[in-house]
Amino acid sequence: MKHPFDLTGKTAIVVGGAGGLGQQQAIGLANAGAVVAVVDVNAERLASAIREIKQQGGNARPFLTDITDPHAVQAMVHTVVAEFGRIDILVNAAGITQRCPSEDFPEELFERILNINLNGLFYACQSVGKVMIRQGGGRIINVASIFATVGLPESVAYSMSKGAVVQITRTLAVEWATSHIAVNGLMPSWFETPMGKVADNRNQFYKGVARVPSAEELKEKTIGRVPLGRYGMPHEIIGATVFLASDAASMVTGHLLAVDGGFLAQ
């Protein structure tokens, strides 16, 4: 009998697959047997992600694509279908953030964050969704955040984009259920990636603030609020991703799975 987490013969697309979490998700899907199209806008990180997946014995192909361009997304999806015949799994893990007081939040930054975290994610769902409807089913996994549900100061564009990701996920889950497409999401807390380790990388994230908080203050405000008391390690996103992509989750759709060390249980 086939193991319920086995993804042999499946084709997956991981958008943002060169990033801290996306790369782990791509590795996890590849190790479970899927062929993975790794999509990212960062050529260097993309090449390194493909090397890593192949070194671990997985099968992956790079796609240098900016998901804020709907035509580029359609072209990428078209090529994946032409090469692999179908798309069984889509993971949306591209995302950016920057912190700035809401009263001074620059228009350009506001638009850039929404364009990537929200519009780009929808373009990918839409293009892949069409293919999945045609082929009779599939799995979509959208990476939201704990800040889809609670507020994060100085991060209005990020928090609202993630709140919208939750609603895209629920809406598509309901709308596409009869097409046998399961649409679920993940809500991570702080993970050890450049984005998650905001305390160590604080100067790159703060814009237009009178004082950038110290690393200690930020640790207190971040992992200090997580019941498990630590950052998630990037590989700790794999289990939830493979579960939602696999037959083990055959009755699960429209669900947001917190991978957050207990943050949302408080």
Ligand X SMILES: NC(=O)c1ccc[n+]([C@@H]2O[C@H](COP(=O)([O-])OP(=O)(O)OC[C@H]3O[C@@H](n4cnc5c(N)ncnc54)[C@H](O)[C@@H]3O)[C@@H](O)[C@H]2O)c1
Q: Pairing state of beta strands 59-64 and 181-188? A: unpaired
E-state strands within 135-178: 138-143
Q: Which is nearer to ligand X, 68 or 179 (CB)?
A: 68
Please list, residue by residue across 102-117, b when 16 or more beta carbons sit within 10 angstroms of its beta carbon and e when fewer do. eeebeeebbeebbbbb
Q: Which is nearer to ligand X, 176 or 191 (CB)?
A: 191
Catalytic-role residue among 123, 158, 206, 231: 158
Q: Least separation, in Å, of the C-beta of 108 and ligand X?
A: 15
CB 200 within 8 A of CB 183: no
Write the binding mask 169 to 208 for ligand X: x where contact by CB under 6 A, - elsewhere.
-------------------x-xx-xxxx------------
Q: Which is nearer to ligand X, 105 or 231 (CB)?
A: 231
Q: Least separation, in Å, of the C-beta of 92 and ligand X?
A: 8
- Structure token digits, residue 51: 């090397």
Among 13, 18, 181, 182, binds ligand X (CB under 6 A): 18
Q: Name, in order, each residue with C-beta under 8 angstroms of 57's C-beta and a sequence gap of 6 or more.
A: 31
Q: Least separation, in Å, of the C-beta of 114 and ligand X?
A: 12
Q: Name, in order, each residue with C-beta under 8 angstroms of 220's C-beta and a sequence gap of 6 or more.
A: none
Among 31, 42, 79, 126, binds ligand X (CB under 6 A): 42
Residues 22-41 that bind ligand X (CB under 6 A): 22, 40-41
Write the binding mask 57 to 86 for ligand X: x where contact by CB under 6 A, - elsewhere.
---------xxx------------------
By beta carbon distance, the residue nearest ligand X is 19
Known catalytic residue at 158: yes
Distances, alpha carbon 237 to alpha carbons 24, 130, 193, 199, 223, in Å = 7, 27, 12, 21, 17
Among 98, 145, 155, 246, binds ligand X (CB under 6 A): 145
| Strands ordered across the beta sheet of 11-15 | 59-64, 35-40, 11-15, 89-92, 138-143, 181-188, 256-259
R_g (Cα) of the chain, nearest Å: 18
Q: Least separation, in Å, of the C-beta of 6 and ligand X?
A: 25
Note the Cα 39 to chain centre separation in Å.
12
Write the binding mask 203 to 222 for ligand X: x where contact by CB under 6 A, - elsewhere.
--------------------
Q: Which is nearer to ligand X, 133 or 152 (CB)?
A: 152
Active-site residues: which are they? 158
